[in-house]
Amino acid sequence: AQTVTQSQPEMSVQEAETVTLSCTYDTSESDYYLFWYKQPPSRQMILVIRQEAYKQQNATENRFSVNFQKAAKSFSLKISDSQLGDAAMYFCAYAGYSSYKLIFGSGTRLLVRP
Amino acid sequence: SQTIHQWPATLVQPVGSPLSLECTVEGTSNPNLYWYRQAAGRGLQLLFYSVGIGQISSEVPQNLSASRPQDRQFILSSKKLLLSDSGFYLCARNMGGPGPDTQYFGPGTRLTVL
């Protein structure tokens, strides 16, 4: 069975600095997608970024980028120029080609210090 | 449009009362639909998913049930609520069929059982 692990329950970053959130996963599939979702205090889940496993190039969305290491099964999220609005829970998630389901990690709470 | 509507936004119910939460989606026909529950400070737990009208898969045995009476309507129900049913309920959708498609989430319903 696939699993997703986020080993950092909480991270803190100074406004305008850069922070990296870690995520590792376990799977025997070769084709899959990985996601980072943001959950602000409103608790709505918002897609931050998506990475297709067959693509070697790391996905980027404005200040958000990933470091995807397929062999190491690692998928970290880098947030550059952190803003107060980035404060939220961040969830890493896995979706395989053989399933309808999305498998979530336990989340990392990001605090942004002004 | 990926718009997802959830009703109601907030609900306070006594133990033993019935429950009906509604999720409706706009856009593509025959989406996959999902119900998740999130306890305070915790990750997401998949409760049910549906790949078509009348087709429901249950992930966790409990006193909840789900139905999909129309293509774009997904309902979460209970005949008798328990205290442990309190939480934040999220509806999600993606394109039809298996595979690693992005899930998009609704705004959620906050349920408190007293």
Alpha carbon of B14: minimum distance to chain A alpha carbons (Å): 23
Phi, psi dihedral angles at A59 (to 5 degrees): -70, 150
Share of chain B above pLDDT 70, in %: 96
What is the distance in angstroms between the Cα of B110 and the nearest Cα belonging to chain A?
10
> From the CA of A32, how many Å to the nearest CA of chain B?
6
Give the per-residue pLDDT at B61: 65
Interface A-B, measured as beta-carbon pairs within 8 A, has a size of 55
The pLDDT value recorded for residue B96 is 74
Look at residue A2 in the predicted model and tell me its pLDDT: 86
Average pLDDT, chain B: 91
Q: What percent of chain A has pLDDT over 70?
A: 100
Q: B65-95 pLDDT, tens per residue?
A: 999 999 999 999 999 999 999 999 999 998 8
Closest chain A residue to B33, measured at CA? A100
Query: Where are the extended beta strands (E) located within A24-106?
Result: 24-26, 32-39, 46-52, 60-61, 64-69, 74-79, 88-96, 103-104
pLDDT of residue A114 exceeding 80, the answer is yes
- The answer to whether residues A47 and A37 touch, using CB atoms and an 8 Å cutoff, is yes
Check A33 against B44: CB less than 8 A apart.
Answer: no
Give which of A111, A113, A80 is closest to A9, Cα–Cα: A111
Q: Which residue of A has its CA nearest to B6?
A: A44
What pLDDT shows up at residue B1? 57
Model confidence at A98: pLDDT above 80: no
Q: How many residues does chain B have?
A: 114
CB contact under 8 A, A43 and B88: yes
Indicate if the pLDDT at residue B40 is higher than 90.
no
Cα–Cα distance measured from residue B114 to residue B100, given in angstroms and rounded to the nearest whole number = 38
Q: Any idea which residue has 């979706």 for tokens?
A: A95
Range with the largest mean pLDDT of A57-61, B92-96, B101-105: A57-61
Q: Which residues of B touch A97 (CB under 8 A)?
A: 98-100
